[in-house]
Amino acid sequence: MTILTIPTQPFNDQKPGTSGLRKKVPVFKQAHYLENFVQSIFDTIAAPQGATLTLGGDGRYYNLEAIQTILKMAAANGFGRVLVGRCGILSTPAASCVIRKYQTFGGIILSASHNPGGPDGDFGIKYNTQNGGPAPEKITEAIFANSKKISQYLEYQASDIALDEIGEFDLGGMVVQVIDPVTDYADLMASLFDFNAIRDLLSSGFRIKFDAMHAVNGPYAKEILVKRLGATENSVMNAVPLKDFGGGHPDPNLTYAHDLVEILYGDNAPDFGAASDGDGDRNMILGNHFFVTPSDSLAVLAANAKLVPGYASGIAGIARSMPTSAAADRVAAALGIPCFETPTGWKFFGNLMDAGKVTLCGEESFGTGSNHVREKDGLWAVLFWLNILAVKKQSVQEILMAHWAQYGRNVYSRHDYEGIASDAANGVMQHLHENLGAFSGQAFGRYTVKVADDFSYTDPVDSSVSSGQGVRILFTDGSRIVFRLSGTGTEGATLRIYLEAFEPDTKQHHLDAQVALAELITIALQISQLKDRTGRDTPTVIT
């Protein structure tokens, strides 16, 4: 076996987005494309000779091929050991868990999260640092800079390694250690939650349905919910991971997880429903005929954290992304702990967790997590909910109604306009930017604009500044509209409009969010000139 030095030309489009580099599979399959990016990662992180790397992915199309290439490149680049999930599988939170538990020199995670997979679907790759979290912007920027000047990469010339059995294999002096993808993660969950209480709940006639959406969490849910917690076999649906997620869109929301939604809103519905996404880091929580917004979910978990063994001694603080509703802020205020508002993307939570400033974090995009790993964590959120339900012995809806009665309700919805022509989408954002000054003080119906700005964040730990993070229209009564463009898409542009209104009146709490937000929705369309500029006024996805 020999190390090959392969000459290459830079690609100019390898800029990581909100969560790593995401492109269509045919883009990744171009000669040298994956290799260029991987070498750019290795050149940037400059791992010491003999370092250990974690490697795994969500099992989507091209996962295994990419893993084999990365193993050969890791060997040629001087790594001493790679911990790789059996069959190349690691959910994103499990990868974060493995990096932290075995203190590896970070890890490479292959996933395009909730984006569809398959030969023409999406693929993605990202580097997580030694704390187990997504690389911060200064590293992703450096990787991008390296990708623009790369001239060669290193790869071991070797045949593929068999990854379907646990064990250790030699690859040019580097050890490839194939690990069980589930065990370490399941053990971590058992250390945080009261499994006995949840087991009792599940044997008491409380029925659950978890939709793995043919994605990576199937085996994790089977092991934890069925094997360790005694849920019935049919409590987990779509549990077999498929390379193309069965042709579906593995995004746990009311639109794409419709099979589950129909069950939870149908006759004889279970008491609790949940789904997770392609790589297992997102979650959706449902009760019997009831939907919990991710923003509310974060607030409920924070308010009830003391009921859960892993958090019984209290939480240090909460962080939420800017577009996430302020429901968690109200809980933080009541608990007398800080609440941080960060830009969109999990990578902004890492510093706060490492510095011990926050314990729980959440995003409106179905992401919730804590300092147990440095990624959002779908099954963790499900177990947190089950632990609370086991202790409180109330329904999901009862818990939410009581929560709103105590704190008030931050009525919330996100409207996504997918597949807009990039020029038109940029035009909307430019129009908003140009009018920020003009919006201030202006009245729209019963709402008056207090501040209109472009969100900018200064990290309280390392003082790094991230600007251009979304246009905020903040109204005097605390309601707001936020506009931003997605940074994870691979086709055209996706415009996200986030709508939030605070409702203290208990008598209004039963209202459907779209009804309660109707006036704000109209204002959002008016001030963005969306219809004129894009021809669209109906969202593709409402969450």
Residues that are catalytic: 113
Positions in 217-246 near ligand G1P (CB under 6 A)? none
Cβ distance to ligand G1P smaller for residue 8 or 18: 18
d(CA 485, CA 482): 10
238: its two tokens: 């779509």
Number of residues forming the site for ligand G1P (CB under 6 A): 14
Nearest distance, CB of residue 487 and ligand G1P, angstroms: 3
Q: How far is the CB of 378 from Zn ion (least distance, A)?
A: 8
Of residues 432 through 491, those in contact with ligand G1P by CB under 6 A are 486-488
501-524: b (≥16 Cβ within 10 Å) or e: bbbeeeeebeeebeebbeebbebb
> Which pair of tokens denotes residue 526?
């008016």
Residue 480 binds which of Zn ion, ligand G1P, none (CB < 5-8 A, kind-dependent): none
Rounded to an integer, what distance in angstroms lies between the CA atom of residue 51 and that of residue 54? 10
Candidates 18, 177, 397, 529; binder of ligand G1P (CB under 6 A) is: 18
Of the pair 59, 489, the CB lying nearest ligand G1P is at: 489
Cβ atoms < 10 Å from Cβ of 462: 10
Residue 119 and residue 111: Cα distance in Å, rounded? 14
What's the Cα-to-Cα distance from 416 to each of 54, 121, 449, 521, rounded to whole Å? 34, 20, 23, 12
Stretch that binds ligand G1P, among 71-79, 178-186, 344-352, 445-453 (CB under 6 A): 344-352
Contacting residues toward Zn ion, per CB under 5 A: 113, 277, 279, 281-282
Least separation in angstroms between residue 282's CB and Zn ion is: 5
Q: 113 or 235, CB closer to ligand G1P?
A: 113
Listed residue (250, 235, 209) closest to 58, CA to CA: 250
* Tokens matching residue 477: 């009564």
Contact between 276 and ligand G1P by CB under 6 A: the answer reads no
Which helix (DSSP H) or strand (DSSP E) does residue 409 occupy?
Answer: strand 409-420
Residue 91 near ligand G1P by CB under 6 A: no
Phi, psi of 49 (to 5 degrees): -50, 135
344 binds, among ligand G1P, Zn ion, none (CB under 5 to 8 A by kind): ligand G1P
Give the pairing type, strands 339-342 and 318-321: parallel
Paired tokens of 18: 């909100």
In whole angstroms, what is the distance from residue 400 CA to residue 296 CA? 8
Q: Give least dist CB 189 to Zn ion, A.
A: 18
Identify the residue among 115, 321, 368, 370 touching ligand G1P (CB under 6 A): 321
Q: Which does 19 bind (CB under 5 to 8 A by kind): Zn ion, ligand G1P, none?
A: ligand G1P
Q: What character string, x for contact with ligand G1P (CB under 6 A) and - otherwise, covers 495-514?
A: -x------------------
Q: Within 359-418, which residues bind ligand G1P (CB under 6 A)?
A: 363, 365, 367
Instruction: Give the torsion sign (CA, 503, 508, 509, 511).
Output: negative
Partner interacting with residue 214 (select from ligand G1P, Zn ion, none; CB below 5-8 Å by kind): none
Radius of gyration of the chain (CA): 23
| Per CB under 6 A, 346 contacts ligand G1P | yes
Nearer to ligand G1P, 22 or 409 (CB): 22
Q: Which residue is nearest to ligand G1P (CB)?
A: 486
Distance CA 540, CA 543 (A): 10
**Complex with ligand G1P: residue 222 or 496, whichever CB lies closer:** 496
Q: Which residue number, 113 or 140, has a Cβ lying nearer to ligand G1P?
A: 113
Euclidean distance between CA atoms 469 and 477, whole angstroms: 23
Residue with tokens 């593995």: 250
Q: Which residue in 19, 104, 238, 469 binds ligand G1P (CB under 6 A)?
A: 19
The nearer residue to Zn ion, 277 or 329, going by C-beta atoms, is: 277
Torsion from C-alpha of 185, 189, 195, 198, nearest 10 degrees: -100
Report 105-164 residues binding ligand G1P (CB under 6 A): 113
Count Cβ atoms below 10 Å from residue 41 Cβ, excluding itself: 28
Binds 18: which of ligand G1P, Zn ion, none (CB < 5-8 Å by kind): ligand G1P
* Phi, psi (rounded to 5 degrees) for 485: -95, 140
- Report the distance separating Cα 244 and Cα 239, nearest Å: 14
Sheet holding 367-370, edge to edge: 339-342, 318-321, 360-363, 367-370
Q: Find the helix or strand (DSSP H, E) in which 329 lies.
A: helix 327-335
Q: Cβ of residue 392: shortest distance to ligand G1P, in angstroms?
A: 28
For ligand G1P, which is the closer residue by CB, 330 or 484? Answer: 484
Q: Which of 133, 248, 345, 350 binds ligand G1P (CB under 6 A)?
A: 345
Which range in 151-159, 198-206, 343-351, 428-436 contacts ligand G1P by CB under 6 A? 343-351
Give 218 or 345: the residue with its C-beta nearer to ligand G1P.
345
What is the total residue count of the chain?
A: 543
Considering only residues 36, 91, 129, 344, which one is a binding residue for ligand G1P as defined by CB under 6 A? 344
279 binds, options ligand G1P, Zn ion, none, Cβ within 5 to 8 A by partner type: Zn ion
365 contact, one of Zn ion, ligand G1P, none, CB 5-8 Å limit per kind:
ligand G1P
Number of helices and strands in the chain (H, E): 19, 27
Binding region for ligand G1P (CB under 6 A) = 18-19, 113, 321, 344-346, 363, 365, 367, 486-488, 496
